[in-house]
Structure 1
Amino acid sequence: MLHVPNISFHMPSVFLLVGIPGLQEGAVWTSIFFCFLYVLAILGNGIILYVIKTEKSLHTPMYFFLSMLALNDLAFPSSTLPKTLAIFWLNDGLIDATSCLTQMFFVHCLAVIESGILASMAYDRFVAICFPLRYNSVLTYALLEKIALVILARAVVVIVPIPVLVGHLQYCGDNIVLHSYCDHMAVVNVACGDTQIDNVYGLALSLSITGFDLLFIGLSYALILRAIFKMPSREARHKAVGTCGSHICVIIVAYLLGIFSYVTYRFGKKTIPHTVHIFLANVYIVFPSFMNPFIYGVRTKQIRRRVLHIVTHQLNTCRFSY
């Protein structure tokens, strides 16, 4: 009589995250590197939020979007780095299925939110440069709140199907996820059933969201450049370019890392080692969050002055206390 093994096709109760395969020997230095970036990202974005909140002159639409970006940059690495560091330091790669799906939702939701914020910041610069006299009347706080709600709602609506689809896949007992966090495709690759819907939805979502936001950003800056070239004085053109410099740097850091990580993970599996895929996926999450406060802190005069004032005041307070 033929014996049929008892195989469950339901999602495993727990998954085992392996971290970054191939970096076991350099795990200490890798973990220190990511921990260093994470701590600085938390401190930098916390300072940005504090400065914007306490400085009334920064209560403008531009800094409203910057506050949103800083909040997202606090949440994004916090959705993965604590677990990643636990794998490195405590060898604790186990994560229950519910927590895995929850992490998957937040990781991809926060990525979509960040893309939406960057597109909104491009619109802010477009209005500021092309319609400077109407800036405050166009970007009212009522409109800013609606934009923020649209960014959040769009992310939730398009990302909710991802963990739902993953939760309904068939699994054949394997629960090892070759990643340091519950990335969508990393968990899909564990399944043994038909994953075509998940693959198509993930690909279509990435292309549509990234494509639309990049197209919107590109169109905004095309109109901005046209307006800059029409300005009568060189000083005015230089000032206009300067107001966009920080945003352009942030866009380059975020999208360049994100697109490179996505392309190598989906299409470069045969040419690029898996270790590089996972390492880049972690860099994509933490590095922009680390860099953004420095970009805006260095390039934005108001933030730079306020931070220097706070630091000087604290140093003087400490000096007199002794």
Structure 2
Amino acid sequence: MDADQHGHLLGAADIRRIAADAGISPTKKFGQNFVIDPGTVRRIVREADVTADTHVMEVGPGLGSLTLAILETGATMTAIEIDPPVAERLPRTIAEFMPDATDRFTVINRDALTVTPENVPDFNNDQSFTLVANLPYNVATPIILTLLERFTNLGSFLVMVQKEVADRLAATPGNKIYGTPSVKLAWYGTARRVGNIGRNVFWPAPNVDSALVRFDRHTSEEQAALAGGADRETTFRLIDAAFGQRRKTLHAALKHEVSDDAFARAGIDPTRRGETLTIADFARLAAETDAEPEADAEARA
């Protein structure tokens, strides 16, 4: 992209002026920390591989820092914003700072956890779209897992989250922070940490560090091979049970879910703990559990 195509991205003075003008102050309720550094938002967009051909969903656009960096690439996007005054102000910011991009931008005032392909149909005709977001720390994991479940064409994401959340999302078996989010996310694809973000790029500055997580969804062939006949509901139920009592052996934690025969057929030692299992292990266990006669399942319950 030529330098003269770059728009004006928001700095600290712009953010404070827009907030004051709209009567908006960052709220803890919505986990609002606005990015005031153009270099950071351009880095996020670069790590997300956003180009003019990309269709982007942004969750929690806030005052528009990352939004403008996404639009700067020529991409088309829909922003999901829960806070009514913020959602109302955002189109004015785009019109002021990047007027040529207004026809590529849509904002929807909605809680991201309630978004579905029915109430946000913008992505229904896409073979694949990407999520790029500075996610509110307190709901980052549920938002990610909910969107992946509901939008089977959500092909990748690049999110900025609290560093501890990033570590959990990208954790692997045997790591002490490996848990329910790590293994459930692995059902859908591969996550990896791609960088750290300092506190000084936000207003107000949070009291925790942030990090970037990049995720790429499994192809349909990879997903089928991983699942091996298991369905997501059963697999996730076993994950919840195993990590709900993570200090217990699988035999103890899953005694109402999995029979000794199912452990044997899946080739998994029931004296192991859930934190040592890969997503493929859980899927294998789920497939063997689903394959059992109903009488056996009722006997366990």
TM more than 0.5: no
Bucket of the pairwise TM-score, normalised by the shorter protein: under 0.3
In proportion to residue count, which structure has more helix? 1
Higher relative contact order (CA 8 A, sep 6+): 1
